[in-house]
Amino acid sequence: MKLTFTIAILLIVFKGYTQVEISGRMTDTKGKPLYGASISLKDSYDGTTTDSLGNFSFNTEETGKQLLQATLEGYASFEQIISIAGKPIELKISVKELITELNAVVITAGSFEASDKKKGTVLTPLDIVTTASAEGDVTGALKSLPGTQQVGETGGLFVRGGTATESKIYIDGNLVNNFFYSSLPGISSRGRFNPFLFKGTVFSAGGYSALYGQALSSALILESTDLPERTEGSLNISVIGIGTGIQKLAKDKKSSWGLTYNFSHLGPAFALIKQRQDYYQNPVFHEADGNFRIKTKRGGMLKYYSYWSTGKVGYRSEDIDSANLKNAFNLDNVNTYQNLNLRENLGKGWKLSTGLSYSTNIDEMENELQDANETRQVFMNPAGYAFKNFSIVKKSHYAQARAYTEKKLKGLNAVRFGADYFYSQEKNAYTDYNGAKSDFVITDQLSAAFAETDLYLSKDLAAKIGGRAEHSKLVDEWNIAPRLSLAYKLKNNGQASLAYGVFYQNPESTLEPALPGAGYAKAAHYIFQYQKIKNDRSFRAEIFYKAYQNLFTTTNDSYGRTVAADNDGTGYAKGIEFFWRDKKSVKNLDYWISYSYLDTKRKYLNFPEAIRPNFSAMHTASLVVKKFVLPWKTGFNAAYNFATGRPFYDIRFDGLQDKYVIADKGTTIPYHSLSFSLNYLPKLGKTDSKIFPIIVMSVSNVLGQQQVYNYTYGSITGNRRPILPTSRRFVFVGCFISFGTDRTDDAINNNL
């Protein structure tokens, strides 16, 4: 009896003395050995880790039926019940690779993305503000990337043979109609919005998503920042003005609000840096913005951004059609922009994104022809110089409502669909030299519906298939625009992408009154890209072809005014672009090179034949260099932009032939510009400092190279005159101070 018990106890207590070896090999479904997988028997300590050949082997004292598990990040998990009965066990384990954000290919054809988090991006938000030639303007930085033109005589982005109006800008999904300050004749206008407002930037030079429309060439998609890191005040003083602001983060870090105000007066700067124009009203701006951001309970975010600005400027410049007359031009502008945005998780993989925006813009422009004594000149003889006296008041309202939902499916697959509604009203009131008034109002309502799906056929092959349908009340017809992009992962961190899409845009508003019922302008994009990113070095090459159809053509009406004639204009743009960025080869030095070749011709507006438009250069290249020198607490940034000469034309209406002819043409000298900026952070690393100043200096056209943007012709005499920068060089010096809380943490980041 006792003996039986003793044996039983001994058997139980020392049950495990018989060890069994479990071994095998783990591979993926293609037979590639998997290293680092954890092999275990559930609820026991027993197990091991696979070696570089996928082999594993361990001993166990467990017996009977046991659950063997094999896990490796990025692969399907493996489970199998095994019976351990004294004999060694050998297993072949084969698991499928999962499609995850980490290993899956990313669709990149046509676009540059600046993001901190996402992979496959070649830029970060910081790059946008530390590019020397950017001068604190979001779009300025983009002009050092392939696909953009170095157009300095007017604001906006000229992308791949497209005009500035073919590029649209979105903030949190909502279209921004007056992203740039109102344009002045012959003077480039900057973007209104502070680059620090945005945490993510996608610049698409073509083939963009079905979520956006109404841009024949390019979409710039900006995403505003979330909650600020901390509460702080700010103060800035520079050669162009002063400003102050506050960002308040709630104690629970779930909400925040902010206000800023800036006053700019370019008088002092223009007194030091002589301007080509003679300013009788120096540019003066008041700008204020406000925001609030609230994190929702389900992890969504409600954001509101409000912007208000007023500005005035007036200057005299020599009249092109005479030797001693001048044009005195002045502009008063009031601009407002409101953007309300909600992103919310609805549960079960559904996400909702809604937005409302409303903006207004009033431009009051006046031009007066003056003699040397600055008195108004009105004479019809000869040739209607009197028409150079005019005033225009443009009042615009834009509203947008947008909603879409996204459903995440298995793997990384997703579907998105939604709708947009735009309302726009533009009132133009024109007053002639003799007080004769003419005005017109254009009102449009544009409705759009879109759907898009992300399809991952494998981790190496992804497709984005989408479509967009739009109906403009003005055009009064539907358009349907298919969009497709594909990406395929190659060996050694390379990938190939393709994009195709059809894009529609409403007629430009200045041409609309004369041509009701004309259809949409249309462009089709075909893009092929190769990209390789490895260890802080990125390379990409892109070939594109773009076909334009239904562009607007113009004619002269009986009053000699330019009016829309038809929409049978055509054009094409094709080219190849390269981008190379290297943060590695030289320690602490970061540089990128971009090059664009562009072959484009179009027949539109008053072009008598298909010609290369005057805003396109054949070769464009940029070199951007950034270096932060720690001992000096200073970041140095330089940029060299180059473009071959652009064509220019004098296109005139020949009454005898009853058609437009090219009366004169030529090519400008090549464009060279070296810009330089430095950021000095004197309190860098002083953790006890309550005040954190950043001193910024930037110089444009350091070498003082002669730059001719283009040529303009007198409408009366045909006199030719170059369009030159407003000054040979501009120097900006400013000090940005944050206070209230320690800002050392952002030191490296905010070196503007």
Partner 1 sequence: MKKFIIFPLLMLLSICTLAQNADKYNKAMKKNLQALDTAFKSTASLLVVANNFERIGDAEKEQWLPYYYAAFAQVNIGFMEQDKSKVDAIADKATSLLDKADALSSSNSEISCIRSMIASCHMMVDPMSRYMQYGKESSEALEKAKTQDPSNPRPYFLIGQSLKYTPEQFGGGCGTSLPQIENALARYESFKPASDLAPTWGKELAESIAADCKK
Rounded CA separation 339/349 (Å): 26
Of the pair 38, 715, the CB lying nearest partner 1 is at 38
Least separation in angstroms between CB 92 and partner 1: 20
For residue 507, what are its two tokens? 């007629």
Question: Which are the contacts of 178, defined by CB distance < 8 A and separation ≥ 6?
Answer: 192, 335, 337, 359, 361, 396
Omega of the bond leading into 382 within 30 degrees of 0 (cis):
yes
Which member of 4, 324, 373, 535 binds partner 1 (CB under 8 A)? 535
Q: Name the segment binding partner 1 (CB under 8 A); options: 2-10, 17-25, 91-99, 547-555.
A: 2-10
For residue 395, what are its two tokens? 């009042």
Rounded CA separation 68/551 (Å): 67
Of the pair 102, 383, the CB lying nearest partner 1 is at 102
Of the pair 290, 740, the CB lying nearest partner 1 is at 740
Question: Which are the contacts of 128, defined by CB distance < 8 A and separation ≥ 6?
Answer: 114, 134, 138, 141, 195, 198, 201
Least separation in angstroms between CB 116 and partner 1: 5
For residue 76, what are its two tokens? 């399907």
Q: Name the segment binding partner 1 (CB under 8 A); options: 7-15, 315-323, 471-479, 540-548.
A: 7-15
Sites for partner 1 among residues 713-752 (CB under 8 A): 744-749
- Nearest Cα residue to 189 out of 137, 132, 142: 137
Least separation in angstroms between CB 469 and partner 1: 39
* 322 is a contact residue toward partner 1 (CB under 8 A): no
Least separation in angstroms between CB 570 and partner 1: 44
Least separation in angstroms between CB 135 and partner 1: 21
* 13 is a contact residue toward partner 1 (CB under 8 A): yes
Least separation in angstroms between CB 59 and partner 1: 14
Of the pair 633, 729, the CB lying nearest partner 1 is at 633
3-state class (DSSP) for residue 630: helix
Of the pair 198, 520, the CB lying nearest partner 1 is at 198
Q: Please count the residues of this chain forming the interface with partner 1, following the rule CB under 8 A.
A: 43
- Quick one: three-class SS letters along 358-374? EEEEEEEEEEEEECCCC
Sites for partner 1 among residues 539-558 (CB under 8 A): none
* 667 is a contact residue toward partner 1 (CB under 8 A): no
Least separation in angstroms between CB 194 and partner 1: 17
* 9 is a contact residue toward partner 1 (CB under 8 A): yes
* 226 is a contact residue toward partner 1 (CB under 8 A): no
- β-bridge partners, 256: 249, 293
Strands 647-654, 659-667: parallel, antiparallel or unpaired by DSSP? antiparallel
Least separation in angstroms between CB 206 and partner 1: 27
Least separation in angstroms between CB 86 and partner 1: 21
Query: Phi then psi for 708, rounded to 5 degrees?
Result: -120, 115
Rounded CA separation 164/154 (Å): 9
* 656 is a contact residue toward partner 1 (CB under 8 A): no
* 536 is a contact residue toward partner 1 (CB under 8 A): yes
Rounded CA separation 260/293 (Å): 15
* 119 is a contact residue toward partner 1 (CB under 8 A): yes
Of the pair 52, 324, the CB lying nearest partner 1 is at 52
* 126 is a contact residue toward partner 1 (CB under 8 A): yes
Of the pair 15, 665, the CB lying nearest partner 1 is at 15
- β-bridge partners, 264: 241, 285
Rounded CA separation 40/58 (Å): 9
CA torsion through residues 271, 277, 279, 284, sign: negative
* Cα 293-297-300 angle, rounded to 5 deg: 55
Which member of 5, 17, 437, 492 binds partner 1 (CB under 8 A)? 5
- β-bridge partners, 569: 551
Of the pair 124, 719, the CB lying nearest partner 1 is at 124
Sites for partner 1 among residues 33-62 (CB under 8 A): 36, 38, 40, 42-49, 51-52
Sites for partner 1 among residues 572-591 (CB under 8 A): none
> For residues 620 and 593, is the Cβ–Cβ distance under 8 A?
no
Q: Name the segment binding partner 1 (CB under 8 A); options: 4-12, 235-243, 315-323, 444-452.
A: 4-12
- 266: how many CB neighbours lie within 10 A of its CB? 18
Least separation in angstroms between CB 173 and partner 1: 24
Strands 167-171, 218-224: parallel, antiparallel or unpaired by DSSP? parallel
For residue 98, what are its two tokens? 């999962």
Rounded CA separation 472/506 (Å): 8
- Nearest Cα residue to 112 out of 127, 123, 126, 128: 123
* 124 is a contact residue toward partner 1 (CB under 8 A): yes
Q: Name the segment binding partner 1 (CB under 8 A); options: 363-371, 508-516, 544-552, 628-636.
A: 628-636
For residue 266, what are its two tokens? 């370019």
* 229 is a contact residue toward partner 1 (CB under 8 A): yes
Least separation in angstroms between CB 684 and partner 1: 6
Question: Which are the contacts of 670, defined by CB distance < 8 A and separation ≥ 6?
Answer: 642, 643, 644, 645
For residue 720, what are its two tokens? 């030719």
> For residues 244 and 233, is the Cβ–Cβ distance under 8 A?
yes
Sites for partner 1 among residues 73-112 (CB under 8 A): 73-74, 102
Least separation in angstroms between CB 99 and partner 1: 14
Of the pair 44, 59, the CB lying nearest partner 1 is at 44
Which member of 54, 110, 125, 155 binds partner 1 (CB under 8 A)? 125
> For residues 30 and 95, is the Cβ–Cβ distance under 8 A?
no
Rounded CA separation 14/309 (Å): 84
Residue 73, amino acid = E
Least separation in angstroms between CB 44 and partner 1: 6
Of the pair 5, 559, the CB lying nearest partner 1 is at 5
Element spanning 482, H or E:
strand 477-489
Sites for partner 1 among residues 670-709 (CB under 8 A): 684-687
Question: Can you say how many angstroms the Cα of residue 57 is from the centroid of all Cα atoms in its chain?
Answer: 53
Nearest 10 degrees: Cα torsion 41, 43, 44, 45: 100
> For residues 413 and 374, is the Cβ–Cβ distance under 8 A?
no
* 232 is a contact residue toward partner 1 (CB under 8 A): no
Q: Name the segment binding partner 1 (CB under 8 A); options: 1-9, 169-177, 462-470, 610-618.
A: 1-9
Of the pair 586, 630, the CB lying nearest partner 1 is at 630
Least separation in angstroms between CB 520 and partner 1: 40
* 231 is a contact residue toward partner 1 (CB under 8 A): no
Which residues contact partner 1 (rule: CB under 8 A)?
1-2, 5, 9, 12-13, 36, 38, 40, 42-49, 51-52, 73-74, 102, 116, 119, 124-126, 229, 535-536, 630-631, 633, 684-687, 744-749
